[in-house]
């Protein structure tokens, strides 16, 4: 499994970081890095938690690369 942690404050006034926007707004660079180095994962494991309006959301995404070692 590959695990990359990314946290941010609520940086944009009146912008609600929901589960629908979290991946593209906050995680695209991490996804590009991982898949650029290791290719397409065998599986993805995803869990998300929607926060209250204006408070953001949280997601955990695990990339499974059975053949990769570190």
Q: Which residues contact 65 (CB under 8 A, 6 or more apart)?
A: 1, 2, 38, 41, 42
Total number of domains in the chain: 1
What pLDDT is stored for residue 58 in this prediction?
Answer: 83
What pLDDT is stored for residue 1 in this prediction?
Answer: 64
Query: Considering the domain boundaries, does residue 9 fall inside one?
Result: no
Distances in Å between the Cα of 7 and the Cα atoms of 17, 25, 35, 37 are 12, 12, 20, 22
pTM: 0.68
Query: Considering the domain boundaries, does residue 49 fall inside one?
Result: yes
Query: Which structural domain range is residue 27 located in?
Result: 19-64
Query: Considering the domain boundaries, does residue 55 fall inside one?
Result: yes
What pLDDT is stored for residue 43 in this prediction?
Answer: 92
The tens digit of pLDDT for each residue in 35-58 reads 998 999 999 888 888 888 777 788
Query: Considering the domain boundaries, does residue 60 fall inside one?
Result: yes
């Amino acid at each position: 499994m590959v695990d990359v942690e990314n946290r941010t404050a609520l940086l944009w006034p009146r912008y609600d970081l929901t589960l629908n926007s979290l991946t593209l707004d906050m995680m695209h660079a991490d996804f590009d890095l991982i898949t650029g180095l290791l290719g397409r994962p065998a599986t993805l494991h995803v869990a998300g938690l929607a926060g209250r309006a204006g408070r953001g959301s949280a997601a955990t995404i695990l990339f499974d690369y059975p053949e990769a070692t570190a």
